[in-house]
Amino acid sequence: MFALFRLDKEQLSSCLQRWPSKPDLPMWEARRAAILAEVGTLAEAEQIAEAALAKVRSRLQPFRLDYQALSQEAGSCLS
């Protein structure tokens, strides 16, 4: 985030390349997708965001309110 706010494209690119993929942590993936979208890597960002949202939705169970999962779904949609 620091490199993004400083508009340090070289540092930001380096950080994004080293950022580990964590498909089991959809909020982590949504954050990564948001930063990728900010720098114009829209196709990759969209793919990651959709996968994160699908992961969150797969954890939801009908007739059971799981506030943590619902919160993650909302966070994924906003990113």
The pTM is what?
0.66
- Provide the residue type at 21 as one letter: S
- Provide the residue type at 10 as one letter: E
Is residue 23 a contact partner of residue 51, using CB atoms and an 8 Å limit?
yes
The predicted-structure confidence for 9-34, as pLDDT tens digits, reads as follows 888 888 888 888 888 888 889 888 98
The predicted-structure confidence for 59-69, as pLDDT tens digits, reads as follows 776 666 666 66
- pLDDT over 90 at 1, yes or no: no
- Provide the residue type at 76 as one letter: S
What average pLDDT score do residues 50-66 get? 79
